Amino acid sequence: MNVAGSPRFADTLLRGAVLALFVVSLGLLGAVVLVRGTMPAAYTDIGNATQLVASGAAAATAAWSYYRRGPDMLLVHGAFAAGTWTLANAFWYAYFILIGEGLNYPTVADLGFAGVFLFLIAGLQEGLARNRLSVLAAVPIALPLLGAGLGLVAVLGANAKTLTTLVVFTLSAALLSSALLRSAHRHPVLFAATVVFSLTHILNSLDSTLPDPPWVTNAAGALAAISFSLFAIAYLRHAGGEPA
Amino acid sequence: MILEFYLAASLPLFFLLVFLEGGQRRVLAFLVWGLTAGVISYYVNYHLYLALAASTLLPEVTMAPVVEEFMKALPLFVLLLVFGRRYSKELLVLAMASGFGFAILENYVFVTHFALEGAGAIAYAVMRGVTTSVMHGCMTAIIGFGIFLTYGFSRRSLPSILFGLYTVAVMIHALYNLLVGHTGVGRLLAIDLPLLLFVLLLVAYNWDVLFPKPAEAGE
């Protein structure tokens, strides 16, 4: 389906909205850097809401762009990825509100987050052409991440938390490697979104695994919102024929 | 008693399967699988509950959806990954049959567990019939319809898509179990969610009929 001749005001409106979300998300990240410690409850509420709105916006943007511009694998997988992340985070947040405590790690929400990685990897593989780089070019990305994941298992012991973190590190390595081998750097916003998304989940898993996590892991929520704002912008650019 | 109920319910259906052909046989086979998935999930969940009894986890929220959605959708995964079989949008109906088969068995477990009598029992059964049962059918149907929608994609990304669709079903199921266990707006939302999903799936399934392409509409 291609209805490119339809009014463009929706695109403009969406771009404005996701740019505003991006700015708010940057503000949240700035707050973490300024406080450098335990964040107040109000920050958590605002952060969780912003993440949900940003991921929902990314899903809607990808779906809308697919509807307007026609079949595109990057957009389909992007819509599935952002939609699944929204569901997983909505579950996590609802649990936090209703039960009054954080979910144990790992749990069903982490399964959802793992599914998002796979959708994003499939989106890159289906939506962008493979470049001429050898697979070995991904080794400098994959090796440190896998090494760090295995190192955590060795130091803290093999348990559900460390093994889940190893899975997250492995999925991050696979996602970043796919981005490299599919020349995602030619799509700067998409590349930035992919890197920030991986960083989000690396920090989140460290926050849940390390006995005394550093303050920087508090940035995971803000980074999630930033990554989905960037994904939304990338999908709009991609649908408009610009490099994503 | 659950194994006995399963055998009493499914064995006659095996005899019926002999007489059926084509699409009818497939739908009934998926329904029987749903009953089977119900029994297997019951025992797996039971042992997980025992193992996690001392933890702060809520197994019905955090474990049951993972086990149940996997068991219900297992034939879809096997058909695609092992046999490479391709179906039309009939896959939605087959998947939903598996979910409803599962729900029949689960309803038996819950109705007998609470041992209600009279109008209360009937009200409880009707309530489960239009909420939790529909939810089970719709969750598996989402996976089936998702697979149908992604037929054109390369085979390489099929495992990612299957796992992704599975996680979507698990997430909605977990959210439903979480909300339905509480009072207020959340519970009301959870009760309405299965019927809303059912209507959405019905519209998606009949999309070509409801919104025919211009050439078809002119005929």
Distance of CA A130 to the CA centre of its chain: 22
What are the extents of the domains in chain B? 2-207
Residue B83's Cβ-count burial label (10 Å; 0-12, 13-18, 19+) is: exposed
By C-alpha distance, which of B154, B153, B146, B177 is closest to B68? Answer: B177
* Structure letter (DSSP) for residue A209: H
CA distance B118 to chain A (A): 33
Own/partner contacts of A187-190, CB < 8 Å, gap of 24 or more, are: A187/A128, A187/A234, A187/A237, A187/A238, A187/A243, A187/A244, A188/A243, A189/A230, A189/A233, A189/A234, A189/A237, A189/A244, A190/A230, A190/A231, A190/A234, A190/A238, A190/A244
Q: At what angle do helices A108-127 and B64-81 cross, to 10 degrees?
A: 30
Residue A164 pLDDT > 90: yes
Contact A111 B57 (CB under 8 A): no
* Mean pLDDT, rounded, for B126-140: 94
- CB contacts of B163 in chain A (<8 Å) are 114-115, 118
Task: Please give the Cα distance from B101 to A91 (Å, whole number).
Answer: 26
Q: State both tokens at A18.
A: 């996701």
Q: Does A44 touch chain B (CB under 8 A)?
A: no
What residues of chain A lie within 8 A of the CB of B178, using their CB? Answer: 91, 94-95, 98
- Convert the pLDDT of each residue in B28-57 to its tens digit: 999 999 999 999 999 999 998 888 776 766
For range A141-161, the mean pLDDT: 94
Q: In the prediction, which pLDDT does B56 show?
A: 64
Give how far Cα A55 sits from Cα of A12, A199, B139, Å: 19, 16, 22
Give me the residue spans of the domains in chain A.
Answer: 7-239
Give how far A240 is from chain B: nearest CA, Å. 23
pLDDT for residue A9 is more than 80: no
Chain A residues with CB-CB distance to B168 below 8 A = 80, 83-84, 87, 112, 115
Dig out the tokens for A200 from the structure: 């989000």
| Single-letter code of the amino acid located at A225 | A
Question: How confident is the model at residue A2, as a pLDDT?
Answer: 46
State pTM to two decimals: 0.88
Each residue's pLDDT tens digit, B148-198 = 887 777 777 788 888 889 999 999 999 999 888 887 888 888 889 999 999
- The interface predicted TM-score (ipTM) is 0.83
pLDDT digit string, tens, across residues A184-218: 778 999 999 999 999 999 999 999 999 999 999 99
